[in-house]
Structure 1
Amino acid sequence: MQDLNNPSTTRQNLINAGVKLFAIHGYEATSTRMIAKEANVNIATIAFHFQNKEGFYRAVLKYVAHELDRPLLPLVDHVRRLRSANSITPAVAWVLIEEYVDSMLKTVLVIQDFEHAHYLNLLYHEQLYHPGNEYPITQVVCKKMESILTELLQDYRKDTDRETATTISRIVSSSIVAFGEHPMFIRRALGLADDAPLPDHIIETAKEYLLNGIRSFRAQA
């Protein structure tokens, strides 16, 4: 059993245990005893690092939000700089939309299958129990991710209203998340090992499918 001699490692082990257990059982059904057993620590260690179960749950949600947010940061900074310079033309917006789709597809594939499932489950559980009325994962997935694409869609097609752009953004983002849920099924359909990387042409096919949908939307607008 671990002790408090390596606080950083112990804290991360607890977070990892929390991601798994809260995703599977939800907040109410996950006890501190279950968490301590999963992390192989003394139950008092939870209070030492997080004060109580609710504080620990908040830390788990914020950790997952950070993990989902991190791949977005370079693109967010790039878009912000271009917007500040008033440099986002429709042509530039399209290039950024392509970067967004490509980046998000690759991001969801980097996350291991079980982690992807845990992250999604925590997103759903967050709607049921949200201490302090905080929704850190929702803020990243349903606000930040979608708002970036919504704004770019309006930059791409200047006469698009916010509601329509938001709807298209939600469809694209949801499709990307769903794609990340099914890599194992795709591997097995292709006769690949469960841990084999998906071939580049599969990712490109998904990317073109989404981009063609956006192009189609423009043609019909």
Structure 2
Amino acid sequence: MKESARLEDETSGKLILAGIDLFGEHGFKGTTTRMIAESANSNIGSIAYYFGNKRGLYLATARHIAKRLRQTFELDTSGDTHEHLKTLGREQARETLEQLVRRMVRLFVQEEEARRWLMLIMREQANPSEAFDILYKEAFEIAHVTITTLVAILMERDPADNRVILETHTLVGQIVFFLVGRTPLLRRLDSGDSFPPEIANMAEEVVVSHLAGLERR
């Protein structure tokens, strides 16, 4: 069962899904508890019961998104993981990075779940709040450090090297833009409202092909 389907069977989960949609569309201030309760087919009191207040629900949506990113990308939060990654050889690092990149592309190209998160994340990027701190500490930073560690091995540089960090950010940006720039790309490809399987496969291969360039820098 997909995570969204599981959440729809629980009152707290329905509130989180409604919150993701409404906070993303209207922002924190523009979203009322009544709007959330009605969207979740629940009562206003359930927000206080499960989350304390609207802000508590807002932060819960951020934690949910961060958790799903960690699960989807199979990110380990233990400090030992990055130390282990540093011991990999170039070939192992490239294989590990390729697997991670493929998971990321699949999420941002094909999954409806990621599209639900987009507006909330973009709002937090533009005007960071406590929710952004959660997203950063519990997902973005973990993913970025993991990828940076692997990129550093391919480039034979220190993971703290600014060039390595920028190369990592560029790689991640290429992947994320399949989601952020989804609408104009689909129109340019004349693909309707979704990526056909063959285009999704091609997108995956295009990004993976760019990894070879890191080994020449």
TM-score range relative to shorter protein:
0.7 to 0.9
> C-alpha separation between the residues in 1 aligned to 2:201 and 2:110?
15
Matched, 1:166 2:150: no
TM-score by length of structure 1 reads 0.78
Query: Which of residues 146, 149, 160 is equivalent to 1:148?
Result: 146
Q: What is the correspondence of 1:58-97 to structure 2 with a 5 Å cutoff?
A: 58-73=59-74, 76=76, 83-84=83-84, 87-97=87-97
In the alignment, which residue of structure 1 is the partner of 2:43?
A: 42
> C-alpha separation between the residues in 2 aligned to 1:86 and 1:54?
39
Which whole-Å deviations, capped at 9, do the CAs of 1:75-100 have from their partners, x for residues lacking one? 648xx669539750111111112112
Matched-pair contact (CA < 8 Å) for 1:13–1:39: yes
In the alignment, which residue of structure 2 is the partner of 1:28?
A: 29
Matched-pair contact (CA < 8 Å) for 2:86–2:149: no
Unaligned runs of 5+ in 1: 1-7
1:184 Cα deviation from its structure 2 partner: 5.8
Q: Number of aligned residue pairs: give it.
A: 206
When residues 149 and 86 of structure 1 are mapped into structure 2, their CA distance, relative to the original with a 3 A threshold, is: closer
State which structure, 1 or 2, has the greater radius of gyration over its C-alpha atoms. 1
Matched-pair contact (CA < 8 Å) for 1:82–1:88: no
When residues 62 and 82 of structure 1 are mapped into structure 2, their CA distance, relative to the original with a 3 A threshold, is: closer
Of 135-144 and 45-54, more deviation after overlay is shown by 135-144
Matched-pair contact (CA < 8 Å) for 1:32–1:46: yes
Of 159-168 and 18-27, more deviation after overlay is shown by 159-168
In the alignment, which residue of structure 1 is the partner of 2:19?
A: 18
In the alignment, which residue of structure 1 is the partner of 2:100?
A: 100
When residues 76 and 49 of structure 1 are mapped into structure 2, their CA distance, relative to the original with a 3 A threshold, is: closer
1:39 Cα deviation from its structure 2 partner: 1.6
> C-alpha separation between the residues in 1 aligned to 2:72 and 2:180?
18
Matched-pair contact (CA < 8 Å) for 1:68–1:140: no
> C-alpha separation between the residues in 1 aligned to 2:189 and 2:155?
38
> C-alpha separation between the residues in 2 aligned to 1:159 and 1:10?
49
Matched-pair contact (CA < 8 Å) for 2:107–2:114: no
Identity of aligned residues (%): 25
Matched-pair contact (CA < 8 Å) for 1:46–1:52: yes
When residues 20 and 86 of structure 1 are mapped into structure 2, their CA distance, relative to the original with a 3 A threshold, is: closer
When residues 83 and 175 of structure 1 are mapped into structure 2, their CA distance, relative to the original with a 3 A threshold, is: same
When residues 58 and 206 of structure 1 are mapped into structure 2, their CA distance, relative to the original with a 3 A threshold, is: same
TM-score by length of structure 2 reads 0.79
Counterpart of 2:10 in 1: which secondary structure? helix
In the alignment, which residue of structure 1 is the partner of 2:211?
A: 214
1:179 Cα deviation from its structure 2 partner: 1.1
Unaligned runs of 5+ in 2: 1-8
Matched-pair contact (CA < 8 Å) for 2:144–2:169: yes
Alpha-carbon RMSD across the aligned residues, in angstroms, is 3.0
Query: Which of residues 151, 157, 166 is equivalent to 2:155?
Result: 157
In the alignment, which residue of structure 2 is the partner of 1:4?
A: none
1:137 Cα deviation from its structure 2 partner: 1.9
